[in-house]
Structure 1
């Protein structure tokens, strides 16, 4: 069990709890009951935040877009807020027979807060920042992405209850806080930070790091696709002309 200072202990069946020098990273330690297929699936859903973090880091390294960087900075701030809240409220997780317990408290759920922050920012970004079409058919992918984000966030939150890591109230408050912080951070990026993006991208450090500001580009994917095709054709023409000489 966790002691009053939030320290982790190691428990074995039919043996007293003893102090252990080992601990675990709560985001990766997803245990489930052996033979429980539903629990197995939900354990994998608990790892979705890790996949998202890896995806963000990959996008930042290869695309270096200021909006993506701002999105990820918001996720880090959201996690910092969760840590502060947990160690302020100090509400324990529900009792559960597991071999490894955590140094973290349970209120609010970090998984739920993470996922609903991600989903809220994603939905606002899709419907406010991304280009708008004049018909519903062309925007179906936005609704699909928004629905998918909310669905995965809900499944991750329910997985934490099903696996016994959090109570319903801990997941509920984590979700509410995630939605609130996601809305606040998107507003801050859209209103306060975005006007500075052109200066950041054009400053010496921005040029050195090759960061990009795509705010004024209505359809980034189409712009990159057409730019790449145009450049490839120009280079092909040059290669062909050299060979013919």
Structure 2
């Protein structure tokens, strides 16, 4: 590069969210709008440590959803309501944040009502846990959607369209995973490569958290007895 040529610095605006100075509500909504990145990090952590096929399928759905948003934005080419210089040069229709968060919320909704419906647990605590989970996810989706309009990153229509696309695609993707892919999960985990990667299929396990808790507790007790038997008397 020519030493006389000035370097043009391009900011990475992936996690940059602006809000009006001194506006506590705007600051709160700006922080909430970062939640999709936290959800993505959670997916990666779950996949690395649990390696469950359904979690992987869910995560793949979010990636395809993002690719769909990329195509739609560059096909429609509708600008954002407020110009922010070169920080945000991409188009605004539909809102990627709204599409992501409503895809996530809709998929979780179907998972709880359809997948977890198979669990024969009618306790009040179990029902309360599901209501709280759905309420938190829906509340988060609403806050992210409101924040994108409040902070002038998108118009109301751009957010509504993004939410609608996310809802429709989540419905299609869940049906595909639940009806088409899930029956093949037992075969997939039997592959040598799956064994090497330690992939798991927990579809038939009603309560995965309780299963893992009781299994680890039983294994710990078994190993403790073996160690005690090996100690010299």
TM-score (norm 2): 0.92
Shift of 1:22: 1.4
Aligned length: 224
Deviations 1:143-172 (A, max 9, x none): 110111011011001101111100000000
1:23·1:102 contact (CA, 8 Å) conserved in 2?
Answer: no
Q: 1:88 aligns with which of 67, 75, 85?
A: 75
**Distance of 1:135 and 1:55 partners within structure 2:** 28
Q: 2:217 aligns with which of 202, 226, 229?
A: 229
CA 1:218–1:72 in 2, change beyond 3 Å: closer, same or farther? Answer: same
Comparing 98-107 with 222-231, which one deviates more in the overlay? 98-107
Q: Which has the higher contact order (CA 8 A, sep 6+)?
A: 2
**Distance of 2:74 and 2:193 partners within structure 1:** 37
**Distance of 1:140 and 1:88 partners within structure 2:** 43
C-alpha RMSD of matched pairs (Å) = 1.4
Q: SS at the partner of 1:24?
A: coil
Partner of 2:92: 106
Partner of 1:7: none
Partner of 2:28: 41
**Distance of 1:45 and 1:164 partners within structure 2:** 15
Partner of 2:178: 190
Q: 1:32 aligns with which of 15, 19, 25?
A: 19
Q: 1:58 aligns with which of 23, 29, 45?
A: 45
**Distance of 1:238 and 1:21 partners within structure 2:** 62
Partner of 2:160: 172
TM-score (norm 1): 0.88
Partner of 2:4: none
- Gaps of at least 5 residues in structure 2 are 1-7
Partner of 1:127: 113
- Gaps of at least 5 residues in structure 1 are 1-19
1:23·1:103 contact (CA, 8 Å) conserved in 2?
Answer: no
Residue 214 of structure 1 pairs with residue 214 of structure 2: no
